[in-house]
Structure 1
Amino acid sequence: MDSIDRLKAGDEAVFGMLYTRHTPSMIRVAATIVNSRATAEEVSQETWLAVLKNIGGFEGRASLAGWIFTILINKARTRARRDGRSVSFEEGGQGNDLAAAFDGHGRWKEMPELWDEITPERIVAGRRLAEHMRDAIDAIPPAQRAVIVLRVQQGLDPAEVCEALGLSDGNMRVLLHRARLSLRARLAELS
């Protein structure tokens, strides 16, 4: 029995594993849409209730994570409209150097120095780096943050990210690229 079937059967261990894996990212994505972290936490909890209530209807046309995040984003948008705040995921242009750091497949053209020089000291400082990355992700514009959390941290397919956020493929790629450039600049500050 796979994890989806076990979740449908009410397996608490599977739910606990999914909850632990996805909740921090869910709160971060919801916070890009609603007005506060507390509201984002509420939206996350509402999403988990909806997931448990509707898991029997999950058909597997998207990944389970994609389905969960689609529910989350819809709930966050509804809450933002109700609270009088909404964030558009469409973003205007910025500079012409977007392709400078990445190749056509989204990989670094040149690895940041930080990753080239891994030493025992840097391994020990890993927690600080993780905190710095969380802060860096939290500092980028909401649309970029939502895309990078869903695409990179959660590993959703590009089509799932586009569907969940209501973006075109091209717009999603631009937002992801800009987020990566911002994060790369923050990482460069550490070296």
Structure 2
Amino acid sequence: MPTAGATEADLVRRLALGERSAFEQIYTQHNASLIRVATGIVHSRATAEEVTQETWLAVLRSISGFEGRSSLASWIFSILINKSRSRAKREGRIVSFEGPGEDDTLAAAFDGRGRWRDMPELWETLTPERILQGRRVMEHVDTAIEALPSGQRAVIILRAQHGLAAQEVCGLLGITESNMRVLLHRARLGVRAALDGLM
């Protein structure tokens, strides 16, 4: 069974050869999240879609130069973030992912590893029947993520949904690890509050 690194290396090789199925695989995996992160930076869905298209073109043009020093996802998101920031700057907006410092509320909500101290009620009581009745839970999660401030949205998408390492996320967004943890905690609190509101 191939390792994740071998699988990614094979995917990169296939992309460099111009294999359509390889592109479709990464497009399906990342496109929606790319648009969501870009929207948080450029503040317009239409502009975010344009920036995402530009990102895909840059990926295809540059894939043969991908050296594997970061994950493929991290590399793609770095292209997107750079293009989004350039577009925002050109349109006269300043984008910062920095947030205020950590506070006691956050410390009380999560343990030292970033996990809930008290699981939201909705998540504790999920049963197969409830999952079938509540097919729209993920839609509510997506809606809650869309409503987050841009820094929180970017961190939760990159860290929690795409599983990028903390150092990669910090490097992409130009933030410290402690600030990244604060943004992730606040994002989780926002999503939690939205889901608790469904009850």
Q: Which category of TM-score, normalised to the shorter sequence, fits these structures?
A: over 0.9
Amino acid at match of 1:105: R
Where does residue 40 of structure 1 map in the other structure?
48
Q: Give the C-alpha shift of residue 87 in structure 1.
A: 2.2
Amino acid at match of 2:176: S
Distance 1:184 1:99 in 2: 15
Q: Which 5+ residue runs of structure 1 have no aligned equivalent?
A: none
Q: Give the C-alpha shift of residue 94 in structure 1.
A: 6.6
Q: Give the C-alpha shift of residue 42 in structure 1.
A: 0.4
Distance 1:100 1:115 in 2: 19
Q: Which 5+ residue runs of structure 2 have no aligned equivalent?
A: 1-8
Distance 2:133 2:167 in 1: 36
Where does residue 159 of structure 2 map in the other structure?
151
Q: Give the C-alpha shift of residue 99 in structure 1.
A: 1.3
State the Cα RMSD in Å: 1.4
- 1:4 and 2:12 correspond: yes
8 Å CA contact retained: 1:35, 1:85: no
8 Å CA contact retained: 2:145, 2:191: yes
TM-score by length of 2: 0.91
Where does residue 114 of structure 1 map in the other structure?
122
Distance 1:94 1:174, change over 3 A: closer
**Identity within the alignment, %:** 62
Q: Give the C-alpha shift of residue 6 in structure 1.
A: 1.2
Q: Give the C-alpha shift of residue 28 in structure 1.
A: 0.4
- 1:174 and 2:182 correspond: yes
Where does residue 52 of structure 1 map in the other structure?
60
Where does residue 24 of structure 2 map in the other structure?
16
Distance 2:138 2:179 in 1: 27
Distance 1:95 1:168, change over 3 A: closer
8 Å CA contact retained: 2:41, 2:85: yes
Instruction: Describe the superposition over 1:20-77 as per-residue Cα deviations: whole angstroms up to 9, x where unpaired.
Output: 1100000000011103000000000000000000001100010000000000000000
Instruction: Describe the superposition over 1:83-120 as per-residue Cα deviations: whole angstroms up to 9, x where unpaired.
Output: 11232111224742111121111112222111121234
Aligned length: 191
- 1:123 and 2:111 correspond: no
Distance 1:126 1:19 in 2: 28
Where does residue 97 of structure 2 map in the other structure?
89
Amino acid at match of 1:53: R
Where does residue 26 of structure 1 map in the other structure?
34
TM-score by length of 1: 0.95
8 Å CA contact retained: 2:88, 2:94: yes
Residue in structure 1 matching 2:169, options 144, 148, 161 = 161
Q: List, as ranges, runs of 4+ consecutive aligned residues in structure 1 with deviation greater than 3 Å.
A: none
8 Å CA contact retained: 2:102, 2:182: no
Distance 1:11 1:67 in 2: 19
